Structure 1
Amino acid sequence: MSVRPSPDSSAPSIEDLIARRSLSAVFQPIVDFDDGAILGYEGLIRGPAGTSVEAPYALFAQAAVEGCGIALERAAARTCLEAFALLKCEGKLFLNFSAGAIRDLAAARDSMLALLHHVGVDPARIVIELTEQSAIPDFSNFLPVIAALRTAGAQFALDDYGTANASMNLWVRLQPDVVKIDRFFIHDIASDPLKFEAVRAMQHFANASGAKLVAEGIENEADLIVVRDMGIGCGQGYFFGRPNAQPPRLIADEASQAIRAHHIAVFPETTRTLGASPSGGVASEKMLVHAPALPRQATNNDVLELFNRLPDLHAVAVVERDEPVALINRRSFMDRYALPYHRELFGKRPCLLFANASPVVIEKSMTVEQMAKLLASNDQRYLADGFVITDNGRYAGLGTGEKLVRAVTEVRIEAARYANPLTFLPGNIPISSHIARLVSNDAVFYACYVDLNDFKPFNDEYGYWQGDEVLKFAAAVLADVCDPTRDFLGHVGGDDFLILFQSDDWRERALRAIQAFNEGARRFYAPADRLAGGIHGEDRRGNATFFSFVTMAIGGVCVNPTNSTAHCTSEEIASVAALAKRRAKQDPSGFVLIDESESDALLRGRIDAANVLID
C-alpha cells in the first residue's frame, strides 16, 4: 500500500499562491531553422523567488500533495497568457497541460476564449502541449476534447516524445500538429549514432503524419547543425536562450551564425561491421527454407510420405508445441529405408527412432558474428543435416550448410562496403552518400585522397599483421587531424583513405597528418632497418630494390558549387582526387592540390569512372 506524502509544512500553500497571484511566468524561445526567426515561446511557471517551491518541479509536487494539480495548471496558463500579452511578443505561445487539465480546458472553452480575447491573444497563436506525465485511460473520450480545442483555433502538440507516456501509440491516435523530441535524444546527437537513428526514425514518421518536429535540448552548435541537416524544422534549448521573464526577440549571433553555417554536418555512422551489426535477421531470411514440420508422435511412414511428396526437401523438423525437438535428414533416412524389410519393421515406429535429437538450431535474431563462429566450430553436422531456424524459440523453417556459408559471406561483403572491418571507418557507400549530400547542399569542400608510399614492400617483408598495425596507425593519425563535426573520414580499402574536408584550415590539417604519420611509422620497423633507412625487397617487376620508410601522400581537389563540380557525381569527384593522389606520390612533400580551374576542366571532360577509388 502506497503512503501519500504529507505536505511540506515549510512550503507556502499552493491555493494561497494562486489566490494571491504569486506565480510568475518565464518564456523560452522556439526557433525556426529556415530563417533563424523565433516562431514562438514555451511558457513556463515559477513559484515565489527564494521559496522552496520556486522551481516548477517542487511547485507541482506540492500541488500533487495538496490535491490541486489541475487548479495550478489553470493558474499557470492564465499567468503565462497575461505575461505573454504584456510582453507583446510575436509568434505562438506553447502551454503545458496534463490530460486532465486539457479536459478541463475544453469543458471551460468559453471562459478560456474570453480570457484570450481579454488579453488580446488570438487562439490560433496557442499551442497546447500534452505533458509526458499524462496517461490517457480512455482515448474515445479524449479525442473529442482535442477536436474541440482545434475547432477553437488552437494547435495540439505532443511534448517530450520518446519518454514516459509519449509513445508512437499516442502519436498515431492523437495526430498532433507538433511533436517535441525529448532532449535525451538531442543531447550529443552529433556523436551518438543510436540517438541519430532514433531521431531519424521519428523524422520519417513525422513526414508521413504531417507533424512538425521541434528538437528540444539543443545546447551546442554541433547538435544544432546535425538536427538542421536532418531536415528537422525547429529547435529549442539553452543554445537559443534560457527561460526568462524578458525573453529575447532575436536569437544570439552565435546561434544565428550556426543556423546559417555553410558547412554540412557529418552524421554519426553506426558501425555496420560483422561484430556490431547487421543482425542475423537479414542473413537468416536469405537462408530460410519454409518447410513443413512433423509432430513428435509422427511415424517413419509419415516421414517417408512427406519426402516422397516434396522431393526437394533436404530434411524435416520434428516439433512439439511449435518448438523443434529433432531433425531428420533426407539422405540418411532414405538410405535406411532402402534396406530389406526396413519399412515393414520400422514404418509404424515413432519417427524419433532415426532422428537427430540435438540438431543445430539458429535463432532468426542471431548475429552474423555468431553464425560465423558456428562455421568455425568443431560441430559440422549442419553441413550434412542442415539446421533448424527458430523465431523466438518457435519453429520457423530450415536451412542448409551451403546457404549458411553463402549468407555469412554476402553479409561480410556488404558490411565491408559500409564500414572497413579493420579500422571501423566508413566504407565506400557512406563515402559516396556524404559526397552526394555535400554536393546537393552546394557546400564547398576539399576531397583529399590518402595513400601510403611503399606500403606493399613493408607488408611483404613484415607480414600482414604488422601491415594492419600500420593501417590502423594511419587511420588514427587521420582521425586526429579531422574535426568530427565538419570533416568526413572514410576508408576506401587497403592503404587508401578519403577525407572530405570542410574545415577552413584543412591544408594545415593534411600537412600535419603527413608529418605525424611519417615520423610515427618508423617505429614499426626493426632496429636494423631503422638504422639502414628502409628495407630491401623487389619491385613490381621482380627487381631487387631498396625501399625507404612508408610515408603518407595526400592529393586534394576543391569542390566548389560555383563551377561544374556542383553537378558531378561522387565517383567523378573521387576520380579527380585519385589523380591528385597519384601526383602527390611523386612529389617530395607528399602533398598536391589540383586547383579549381584544372579540376573544373577535368570534370567537364568527365574523367573515366573506372579510376574511382582504386589504385
Structure 2
Amino acid sequence: MNAPLPLHCLPPLRAQTLIQHELLSTLFQPIMRLDKGEIYGHEALVRGPSGSPLEFPDALFAAGRREGLSAELEMHCALQALRDWSAQELPGKLLLNMSASALAHASAPSQWARGLETLRELRIAPSSLVIELTEHERVADIEGLRRTLAGLRQHGVGIALDDFGDGRSSLRLWSEIQPDLVKIDKYFSHDLPAHAEKLQTFRALLQLAETFGAQLVAEGIETAEELRVLRDLGVSHGQGWFLGRPTARGITVPPEPALEVLTSKDIAVLPELRRAAASGVTAERLVLKAPAVAQDCSHEQLYRLFEAHEQLHAVAVIDEAERPVALVDRSQFIARWAKPFFNDLYGRRACTLFANSTPLIVDADTGIEALTSILTSTDQRYLKEGFIITRRGRYLGLGTGEQLVRSVTEARIEAARHANPLTFLPGNIPLSQHIDRLIASGRSFVAAYADLNHFKPFNDEYGYWRGDEMIRLLARVTSSHCDSQRDFVGHVGGDDFVVLFQSEDWERRCEDIVVRFNELARSLFDPEALQAGGILAEDRHGERRFHPCTTLSIGAVRVAPGSLSRPEEVASAAAAAKRHAKHGRLSIYVMEA
C-alpha cells in the first residue's frame, strides 16, 4: 500500500482524492448494554483529513454524491473500518453504516465473495457485524432490500435501523425489514428527564420494539440523568458521549461514571406532563342517534315524530346536503303545540318557524375539554336543548347537556388522578407507580406527608381563590427544596402533598420546606390577622373561635428495603406519621416503617 501523501501535496480535496490516497480514517464510538452494564460493540465513524472541509461525514458524503461516487465511497469506508477494527481487537460487535444502494452493490455475488474473503483475511466473523441502514428516505425497492438483508442474515450479520425518529425514518420500513436493533435519534434522549412527551415517545417505541421483535438503542446520551431515565424505562442499549466519545482505539471497559449510574439502586424521577392530561374522549362518544327532519317538515309532522319517539329531547333540521340548519327543543315545541289554535294557525307551516336557527354544532372529533365552554356560556340553551354533532359538516346525531356535564366531570376526575389541575403536580396514579419502582429497586427511601394546619378556617374566611393561592405556594416551596432528579413531589388532593425522598439530606430539606412555607404563608393574611396572630372563624363544629395562622406539618416514614411491599402500605404509614405530627403540633415527625 502506498504511503498517504501530505495534504499540501494534494490537489483540491475531492472524495476521489481521499479514496485514491487512502486519507480516510475510522473512529469507534462504544454502544453499551444498559441492562447489563457491558460493551455491546462500537459504531464505525468515518473521518476525512483533520481540519479539512471533508473531515466530517455530512460534507464527505455530499462530495461523494456530487462526484457520482456514493457507493464506491461507502464501500471504501466500510473496508477501512474493517481494517481498523481488526487491528484494535475490540470487544463485541462492529456496526457499519450503509445505505440501501451501497448494500445492494456490496451484496452482488462477485462483491459478496470478495467481502467474505476480506473478512477471512482480517479474521472477522460475519456474526460480529451489524449493518446500520442509513438514508431511509431513499429506499425505493423494499422487496429487493429484504432479499439482500435475508442473505446477510444467513451469514449471521445483524441489521440495525439508524436514526429512527429524525423525520426521514419510516415505520413501514421498520415493519418490512424487521431489524435486530433500532437506533432512536438523539433528539429524544436530549434533556429527557425534563420532557414528559419524549418519555411517552420512548414508551410507545418500546411497545413497537416488542411487537416487531427488536431492541432499542438510545442515541445521544450525554448526562447521568438521561442515562438513569433510559435505564429505568427499560431501554436495553445506549450510545452517547456520557458512555464514551468516538476515538481511534475505542474502549474495552465501560466508563466508571456510566457504570455508577447503571449499578446504582437510585431510581429516576420520571417526568410527568405538567398539565392535567386530556381524557382522549371526543364528542363522538356523546352521540345519540336521533332522526332529523327536512326544512319543509311541518309542525304537524314534527309533532307526530315527537309522539312516536318519546325519548327525543330535540330534533335537528337539515338541508338537502344533510347539513344541520336548526334545532327544535321538545319541551318548547310541545308547550307551543298545546296552546289554543296553534295547530290551526301553524300546523302546516314549516317547523323552522320557531326553531333555534343558531344551534351549537360541534364536530365529532372535538375533545370534551374543548366543549366545557358550553357549561359556562351565557346562552344556557345549549345545556337545555343540547347540541348537534356532525362529521365533516354532515349530521351525525345529538348530544345532551346532561351527558356533557357527566363526561367533563369524569374526565377531570380521571385527569386529576394523574396530574392535579391546581398545581399540575403528579397525582395518585403516578405517585403509586413511583412507590412501586422504589420498592422494586431494593433501596431505602423516605415518604414524607405534608399537610396544612388551620387551613379550613383560612379558606372559609378569605375564600377559595386565596385558599388556592396558599396551596400553590406550598407546591412551589416544596418543589424548590427537592432534588428534581431524585425526589418525587406529588399532590394527592386538597392541601395534602407527598414527597418520596432519595436525597440523603431529606430531613434538612423537610425543615427548610416548613420554615420557608410558614414564612411566606403569612403574606396571604391581612395585617389585622397578622397582628392578632390568627383569625376568628368557625371550626369544624360550626363554633366561632380563634385559629392561629396557617402552618405546615410533615410526617415522614423511613422505608427500609423489604419493610413494606405495596404502595398503599407506604401511603398508610406516611399518613400515620402525618397524624402524629399534626396531633402533637410538631413541624416534623419521623418514624420507622
User: What's the TM-score once normalised by structure 1's chain length?
Assistant: 0.87
For residue 587 of structure 2, what is the aligned residue in structure 1?
590
Q: CA deviation at 1:473?
A: 0.9
For residue 52 of structure 1, what is the aligned residue in structure 2?
53
Q: Secondary structure at the match of 2:169?
A: coil
Q: Secondary structure at the match of 1:553?
A: strand
In structure 2, relative to structure 1, the CA distance for the partners of 1:114 and 1:224 (3 Å cut) is same
For residue 69 of structure 2, what is the aligned residue in structure 1?
68
Q: CA deviation at 1:332?
A: 5.5
Q: Secondary structure at the match of 2:22?
A: coil
Q: For the residues of structure 2 that align with 1:302 and 1:205, how far apart are their CA atoms?
A: 55
Q: CA deviation at 1:580?
A: 0.6
CA deviation digits over 1:545-599, x for unaligned, max 9?
Answer: 4333221111111222233x1x2x222211111111111124465111112xxx2
Q: CA deviation at 1:325?
A: 3.9
For residue 562 of structure 1, what is the aligned residue in structure 2?
562
Is contact 2:374–2:382 with CA below 8 Å preserved after alignment?
no
In structure 2, relative to structure 1, the CA distance for the partners of 1:533 and 1:327 (3 Å cut) is closer
The amino acid that maps onto 1:312 is: Q
In structure 2, relative to structure 1, the CA distance for the partners of 1:396 and 1:193 (3 Å cut) is farther
CA RMSD of aligned residues (A): 2.7
State the number of aligned residues.
578
2:154 corresponds, among 151, 154, 157, to 151
Q: Secondary structure at the match of 2:107?
A: helix
In structure 2, relative to structure 1, the CA distance for the partners of 1:406 and 1:584 (3 Å cut) is same
For residue 438 of structure 2, what is the aligned residue in structure 1?
438
Of 76-85 and 263-272, the range deviating more from structure 2: 263-272
CA deviation digits over 1:499-544, x for unaligned, max 9?
Answer: 1111111111111111111222222222233233333344444555
The amino acid that maps onto 1:43 is: A
For residue 474 of structure 1, what is the aligned residue in structure 2?
474
CA deviation digits over 1:357-401, x for unaligned, max 9?
Answer: 432112334344431112111222323432122345454432112
Q: For the residues of structure 2 that align with 1:560 and 1:184, how far apart are their CA atoms?
A: 38
Structure 1 segment 20-419 matched on structure 2, within 5 A:
20-107=21-108, 108-132=111-135, 134-273=137-276, 277-278=277-278, 281-291=280-290, 311-317=310-316, 318=318, 321=321, 323-330=323-330, 340=343, 345-346=348-349, 356-419=356-419
Q: Secondary structure at the match of 1:447?
A: strand
Is contact 2:328–2:355 with CA below 8 Å preserved after alignment?
yes
Q: CA deviation at 1:26?
A: 0.4
Q: For the residues of structure 2 that align with 1:150 and 1:442, how far apart are their CA atoms?
A: 41
In structure 2, relative to structure 1, the CA distance for the partners of 1:73 and 1:391 (3 Å cut) is farther
Structure 1 segment 446-461 matched on structure 2, within 5 A:
446-461=446-461
Q: CA deviation at 1:116?
A: 1.7
Instruction: Indicate yes or no: 2:592 matched with 1:574.
Output: no
Of 211-220 and 166-175, the range deviating more from structure 2: 166-175
Q: Secondary structure at the match of 1:120?
A: coil
Q: CA deviation at 1:297?
A: 8.1
Q: For the residues of structure 2 that align with 1:227 and 1:98, how far apart are their CA atoms?
A: 28
Q: For the residues of structure 2 that align with 1:539 and 1:331, how far apart are their CA atoms?
A: 46
Is contact 2:15–2:64 with CA below 8 Å preserved after alignment?
yes
Unaligned runs of 5+ in 2: 1-9
Q: For the residues of structure 2 that align with 1:421 and 1:320, how far apart are their CA atoms?
A: 45
Q: CA deviation at 1:129?
A: 1.1
The amino acid that maps onto 1:143 is: R
Of 452-461 and 569-578, the range deviating more from structure 2: 452-461
User: What's the TM-score once normalised by structure 2's chain length?
Assistant: 0.90
The amino acid that maps onto 1:576 is: A
In structure 2, relative to structure 1, the CA distance for the partners of 1:431 and 1:244 (3 Å cut) is same
CA deviation digits over 1:71-99, x for unaligned, max 9?
Answer: 11111111111111110011111111112
CA deviation digits over 1:136-189, x for unaligned, max 9?
Answer: 223233221222222222111111111232122222222211111111111111
Q: CA deviation at 1:103?
A: 1.5
CA deviation digits over 1:1-20, x for unaligned, max 9?
Answer: xxxxxxxx985121121122
Is contact 1:360–1:381 with CA below 8 Å preserved after alignment?
no
For residue 609 of structure 1, what is the aligned residue in structure 2?
none
Q: For the residues of structure 2 that align with 1:246 and 1:388, how far apart are their CA atoms?
A: 69
Q: For the residues of structure 2 that align with 1:320 and 1:443, how far apart are their CA atoms?
A: 69
Q: CA deviation at 1:459?
A: 2.0
Q: Secondary structure at the match of 1:471?
A: helix
Q: Secondary structure at the match of 1:282?
A: coil
Is contact 1:336–1:342 with CA below 8 Å preserved after alignment?
no
Unaligned runs of 5+ in 1: 1-8, 600-615
In structure 2, relative to structure 1, the CA distance for the partners of 1:118 and 1:328 (3 Å cut) is farther
Q: CA deviation at 1:295?
A: 6.8
Q: For the residues of structure 2 that align with 1:342 and 1:158, how far apart are their CA atoms?
A: 76
